Structure 1
Amino acid sequence: MAAEAQLKQAIEHHREGRLNAAEAAYRDVLAQNAGDFNALNLLGALLLQRGAFAEAETVLRRAVETNPASAEAQMRLGLANRGLGHAVRAEHCYRSSLKLDPKAADTHFNYGNLLSSLDRGDEALQAFLTCLKIEPRYAEAHVNLGDLLLRNQRAEPATAHYREAVALQPSLQPALLGLGLSARALGRTEEARQVLAKLLDLNPEHEEARKALAELG
Structure 2
Amino acid sequence: MAAEAKLKKAVEHHREGRLDAAEAGYREILASRAGDFNALNLLGTLLLQRGVHDEAEKVLRRAVEINPGSADAQMRLGLANRGLGNASRAEYCFRSSLKLDPKAADTHYNYGNLLASLERGDEALQAYLACLKLEPNHAEAHIGLGDLLLHNERAEPAAAHYQQAVALRPSSPEALVGLGRSTRALGKSEEARKIFERLVELDPEHVEARQTLSELG
Partner of 2:121: 121
Shift of 1:74: 0.2
Distance 1:77 1:172 in 2: 27
Distance 1:80 1:23 in 2: 17
Identity of aligned residues (%): 74
Shift of 1:216: 1.6
Q: In angstroms, what is the RMSD of aligned CA positions? A: 0.6
1:139 counterpart letter in structure 2:
A
1:45 aligns with 2:45: yes
2:111 counterpart letter in structure 1:
Y
Q: Name the SS for the 2:56 alignment partner.
A: helix
Shift of 1:208: 1.6
Shift of 1:119: 0.4
Shift of 1:213: 2.0
1:89 counterpart letter in structure 2:
R
Partner of 1:107: 107
Name the TM-score, length of structure 1 as normaliser.
Answer: 0.99
2:44 counterpart letter in structure 1:
G
Partner of 2:132: 132
Q: Name the SS for the 2:5 alignment partner.
A: helix
Shift of 1:204: 1.2
Distance 1:185 1:79 in 2: 32
1:184 counterpart letter in structure 2:
R
What do the CA deviations read for 1:127-156 (whole angstroms, capped 9, x no partner)? Answer: 001100000000111011001100100000
Gaps of at least 5 residues in structure 1 are: none
The answer (yes or no) to whether the contact 1:181–1:212 under 8 Å persists in 2 is no
Gaps of at least 5 residues in structure 2 are: none
Shift of 1:75: 0.2
Partner of 1:208: 208
Partner of 1:143: 143
Partner of 1:21: 21
Shift of 1:53: 0.2
The answer (yes or no) to whether the contact 1:91–1:114 under 8 Å persists in 2 is yes
1:199 aligns with 2:210: no
Distance 1:46 1:132 in 2: 26
Shift of 1:94: 0.2
1:97 aligns with 2:89: no
The answer (yes or no) to whether the contact 1:128–1:145 under 8 Å persists in 2 is yes
Shift of 1:184: 0.5
Aligned residues: 217
Distance 1:36 1:171 in 2: 39
Distance 1:213 1:93 in 2: 42
What do the CA deviations read for 1:97-149 (whole angstroms, capped 9, x no partner)? Answer: 00000010000000000000000001001100110000000011101100110
Distance 1:165 1:125 in 2: 16
What do the CA deviations read for 1:133-184 (whole angstroms, capped 9, x no partner)? Answer: 0000001110110011001000000000000001111111111111110011
Partner of 2:75: 75
What do the CA deviations read for 1:15-67 (whole angstroms, capped 9, x no partner)? Answer: 00000000000001101110000000000000000000000000000000000
